[in-house]
Structure 1
Amino acid sequence: MFDAVASMAALCGQCRLWRRAAAAAQLHSGVRCLSAKFDYDLLVIGGGSGGLACSKEAALSGKKVAVLDFVEPSPKGTSWGLGGTCVNVGCIPKKLMHHAALLGGAMKDAQKFGWLVPGQFTHDWSTMSEAVQNYIRSLNWGHRVQLNDKNVKFLNHKGTFKDEHSVRAVSKSGKETVLTAENIVIATGGRPKYPSDVPGAAEYGLSSDDLFWLKETPGKTLVVGASYVALECAGFLTGIGLDVSVMVRSIPLRGFDQQMAHLVTDYMESNGTKFLWKCVPTKVERMPKGQLETTWRHLESGQEGKAHFDTVLWAVGRAPETKALNLEKIGVEVNDKTGKVIVAANDATSVPHIYAIGDVAEGRPELTPSAIKAGKLLARRLFNSSTELMNYDNVPTTVFTPLEYGCIGLSEEEAVRRHGEENIEVFHAFYKPLEFTVSERDSSQCYIKVVCFRNSEQKILGLHFNGPNAGEVTQGFSLGIQCGATYSHLMSTVGIHPTCAEEITKLHITKRSGLDATVTGC
């Protein structure tokens, strides 16, 4: 037996570990040995959710895998550990701070439910931020442990393409290493944009990259932008008691259903967030006492406005991290307008053996779960003979504003654009969550609509939900819609009483009818 193992080890001279060669001989696992040409079977550039998922899935197939991840500090010098945007400066800290704001609202409600809340209660930013940041650091460490456990080589290096199979990796100290791989995945994600035409924007302003790592409260804050990042941040900052204004150039939540988006901002306004509509910033200056004087212009009237803030938060979009990769040298095609990597349905770029997944890829939703799934499926196609492609239809998402907004499928506008208004039926309802009754909360913006084909089958094209726990509600319904649910399926579903989600199963009034869509009882 020893001779057989030794012979196999000799044949696999490029394998660096004797143990791998021995295992291949004994178990006939079919895991091939590396060619002499490459250091790795797979090299992933980017340690975010998609890149980590892809690398770990490849390692499960017995492949030799490495991950490069290096965080360039923000203009303000903020940096963080392994895990990408979601873990460090996105989904995780955002949801935790959103929850902190919801707890403040719950304390107000509690008094109506008989809880004796003594005196005034106030929020302490430093306590919250320390707890959130400590949790994030634990996730950073957890990701490193997982990579190590799966024999994935992690390098805290910045990667730049040298050729189609080689990447120059540079450490923080400047030490350079060249790594070669048969397959390379670009998963570098994106970073917040700063307006280049606003003096003082980058010098004095912050982005979401900085907000979640602040040690002290941002104080009176101006949020510039109306993306989900902008509204989510403005929402939880207002919720913990800060004075917050949002400057909106055009429309809120571009790409989302606009009726739902305006209900979200209506709710925010009714709960204390101020909005500067149809305005653009023109200048940011630091005053002698430290505040930031921000000047803006109203797009319709042309009038100028000016106010002082402690913090100006830019949330005007994100740019893909592609410029430093040297993609033009190796011929990877990039969209000149967006800067994103152009990919095929199988995530392949214009260069064989190079792929791109997640936020950096053109036409992909900028959502963590879709990047994770895409990464896993790519690894299975590369190393497990799978042919399954990522399905980007009906991917659910939720905007974690004070009144959450969850959606699946097409907006009403998009359904009409694709199929014509005469072929679309919209069932809708305004409802009041039971939790809002005793506490006497305003439920004017709690609203549901289901967008369907108008034909006899009435297949559901989109579902939109504004209300508490929208993510939890939408997740369940997304399975049905992914399976081709129709309006009749919805009507044959028994709701759970008393819940907000059950109101979806009771929708019976169409927009076309013009009838009052306010829910009045069971």
Structure 2
Amino acid sequence: MGGDTTTYEFDLVVIGGGSGGSGAARRSALWGAKVALVDCGFDFETGIRRGAGVGGTCVNVGCIPKKLMFTAASLYESIHGHAEVATGNGITVGDVKFDWATLKKGRDAYVDRASNAYKRNWGKEGIEVVLGMAKLKDPHTVEVLLNDGEQMQRAMRSGATRTLAAKYVLVCVGGAPSYPDVPGAREYCITSDGFWDLEKQPTKAAVIGAGYIAVEMAGILSAFGTETTLVCRGKTPLRNKMEFDGTIVEKLVEEINNHGPTLVPNSTPAGFFEAEDGTITVSTTDGATLAGFDCVMLAIGRAPLTQDIGLKECGVALDKKGYVIVDEFERTNIPSILALGDCTSSGWELTPVALSTARRLGDRLFGGAPWSRLSYDKIPTVVFSHPPIGQVGLTEDAARAEFGDAVGVDALTAGGMGFAFNPDPAKKVKTTLKLVHVGDDRRIVGLHILGPFADEMIQGFAVAVQMGATVRDFHATVGLHPTMAEEIISFGGGRAWGLDKDRKKPERPPYADPTYAKPVISLAQASLGAALLAALAFAAGRFIKA
């Protein structure tokens, strides 16, 4: 990138030590680049987070603590409440109790170990870590208001700074939860970040939002026995049908109505107020009130932390929401400044996406691979709802928008064996599966799962979808019986399985079709053959000259 021959102190300065920043710094250092990483540390004395902590959102206030809470909540609800299956399986548990403080202590210790692992790995790679608040002074220079390791606000009063100069500057500052511009929001509500600071389990909670964070947090609280209300402004949560498949959302709403939390759709908060008894009341724009909450959590979206770090002053283009505008190679409009992760316009605010993008960026800048970039096609993702959602590729609506009448769908909803003995048959947790495919060969462009262990199932199937698998390939695969995952390749073993596109005639698996042309050699074999031929030609040339 570019022809800059100036000598700088560093090859790369990374602003932000989350998944993206850490991944890029480590990958670049492995290629021999001299790297500095700036991270703002942890909390101000005021208790207001200025940065999630070393390791970023995922480790401290995101994926890792969320999965720990989800796992504990899932275990608890399997032995207590609407989704309880212990009794039907002959398991007598006794007096079931849950202690929030015990779980919080274990969770926080786990997070602390994970965060410290980031520090150790930076040291192993020879990355210079600078704690403090970074600000771009020009396209190659970053000034850091230093945090000496004590509480940040106190440390920064000294005004000590350090200037870092680099050939490239990479911005990975991530995002933070947003607040609505309504009365009482900041005074009486917490955000999803504040959830991790709760010392006591709420008795009655409201979660405001319709995205995956709102659904996840409301589900966790409800599963633990908190009387939980999920307030969303649309008809359903996860309402973007280009992002979440309509069938899956419909079935998720059914599960929410069966097992909790209480869903309040088509409702937008107008204000938050403290009642005489100290609880919080939520008023809505349609004149309704929801009262008696000891916790109100806002999960209405996240905003990029791109303000006040010198981007505008350096001429870096931002969109109207403050996201850094980047191309498919994470390049901004300023050649020496790059950006990736949740603060960019790439549209994928996911830890694995940031990490994969970061590693490819390191390969591109310092590993001699100028073409290296992440393909944003067929990225799998998970929502840790109750039950969880796993998906990869296009929703049905998105596929029809792209391919029209060439789209076909297979869908199934069934009760898994894990809930066969639920004491209340009406409360059995269901699994919904959906394949979206295109064309006569029924190439799979979308796969969606709602149900227990969807988070684990989707990863393997994502590989198949990424490689261009067809329904015929799925039918040719031997199922693991009895599992819910096998239904994805057979859809109940019914009339759809093993039949042609019109579902009228049996269809042989690809390897049994005489017209099937199996590749003679792999790409790796072809590359090796080409290399050997080149070596032989070189040797022959030397022999002839001799």
TM-score bracket for this pair, using the shorter chain length:
0.7 to 0.9
- Residue 27 of structure 1 corresponds to none
- Residue 449 of structure 1 corresponds to 434
- Aligned pairs, number: 471
- Residue 295 of structure 1 corresponds to 283
- Residue 111 of structure 2 corresponds to 136
Distance 2:430 2:88 in 1: 21
Match of 2:193, SS state, is helix
Distance 1:51 1:258 in 2: 35
Q: 1:371 aligns with which of 328, 349, 354?
A: 354
Distance 2:419 2:281 in 1: 39
| 1:221 and 2:227 aligned | no
Distance 2:485 2:290 in 1: 44
- Residue 155 of structure 1 corresponds to 130
Which amino acid in structure 1 is aligned with residue 97 of structure 2?
A: T
Match of 2:97, SS state, is coil
Contact in 1 for aligned 2:342/2:350 (Cα 8 Å): yes
Matches within 5 A, 1:301-312: 302-312=286-296
Match of 1:327, SS state, is coil
Contact in 2 for aligned 1:431/1:503 (Cα 8 Å): no
| 1:257 and 2:245 aligned | yes
Q: 2:446 aligns with which of 452, 462, 473?
A: 462
Contact in 2 for aligned 1:252/1:262 (Cα 8 Å): no
Distance 1:72 1:289 in 2: 34
Matches within 5 A, 1:22-421: 37-70=7-40, 73=43, 77-78=48-49, 80-107=52-79, 108-118=84-94, 120-171=95-146, 172=152, 173-174=155-156, 175-196=160-181, 198-250=182-234, 251-253=236-238, 254=240, 255-297=243-285, 302-336=286-320, 338-386=321-369, 387-420=371-404
Which amino acid in structure 2 is aligned with residue 433 of structure 1?
A: G
- Residue 508 of structure 2 corresponds to none
Which amino acid in structure 2 is aligned with residue 264 of structure 1?
A: L
Distance 1:462 1:272 in 2: 28
Identity %: 33
User: How much has 1:411 moved relative to structure 2?
Assistant: 0.5
- Runs of 4+ that moved beyond 4 A: 71-76
Which amino acid in structure 1 is aligned with residue 40 of structure 2?
A: F
Match of 1:417, SS state, is helix
Which amino acid in structure 1 is aligned with residue 38 of structure 2?
A: L
Which amino acid in structure 2 is aligned with residue 179 of structure 1?
A: L
Distance 2:421 2:335 in 1: 62
User: How much has 1:293 moved relative to structure 2?
Assistant: 1.6
Contact in 1 for aligned 2:42/2:53 (Cα 8 Å): no
Per-residue CA shift, 1:97-130, capped at 9, x if unaligned?
0111111122242232222212x21211111111
Match of 2:202, SS state, is coil
Contact in 1 for aligned 2:279/2:291 (Cα 8 Å): no
Distance 1:417 1:76 in 2: 47
Which amino acid in structure 2 is aligned with residue 134 of structure 1?
A: A
Structure 2 CA distance for partners of 1:48 and 1:378, relative to 1, 3 Å = same
Match of 1:137, SS state, is helix
Which amino acid in structure 2 is aligned with residue 186 of structure 1?
A: V
Which amino acid in structure 1 is aligned with residue 62 of structure 2?
A: G
Which amino acid in structure 2 is aligned with residue 448 of structure 1?
A: L
Match of 1:212, SS state, is helix
Structure 2 CA distance for partners of 1:318 and 1:202, relative to 1, 3 Å = same
Q: Structure 1: state its 5+ residue gaps.
A: 1-33, 515-522
Match of 1:217, SS state, is coil
User: How much has 1:287 moved relative to structure 2?
Assistant: 2.6
Structure 2 CA distance for partners of 1:158 and 1:435, relative to 1, 3 Å = same
Which amino acid in structure 2 is aligned with residue 90 of structure 1?
A: G
Per-residue CA shift, 1:291-318, capped at 9, x if unaligned?
1121113xxxx34223121011000001
- Residue 20 of structure 1 corresponds to none
Which amino acid in structure 2 is aligned with residue 477 of structure 1?
A: F
Contact in 1 for aligned 2:89/2:421 (Cα 8 Å): yes
Which amino acid in structure 2 is aligned with residue 268 of structure 1?
A: I
Distance 1:96 1:484 in 2: 34
Distance 1:35 1:88 in 2: 39
User: How much has 1:443 moved relative to structure 2?
Assistant: 4.2
Match of 1:104, SS state, is helix
Match of 1:229, SS state, is helix
Q: Structure 2: state its 5+ residue gaps.
A: 147-151, 504-546
Which amino acid in structure 2 is aligned with residue 434 of structure 1?
A: M
TM-score by length of 2: 0.83
Contact in 2 for aligned 1:46/1:186 (Cα 8 Å): yes
User: How much has 1:389 moved relative to structure 2?
Assistant: 1.4
- Residue 483 of structure 1 corresponds to 467
User: How much has 1:40 moved relative to structure 2?
Assistant: 0.9
Which amino acid in structure 1 is aligned with residue 115 of structure 2?
A: N
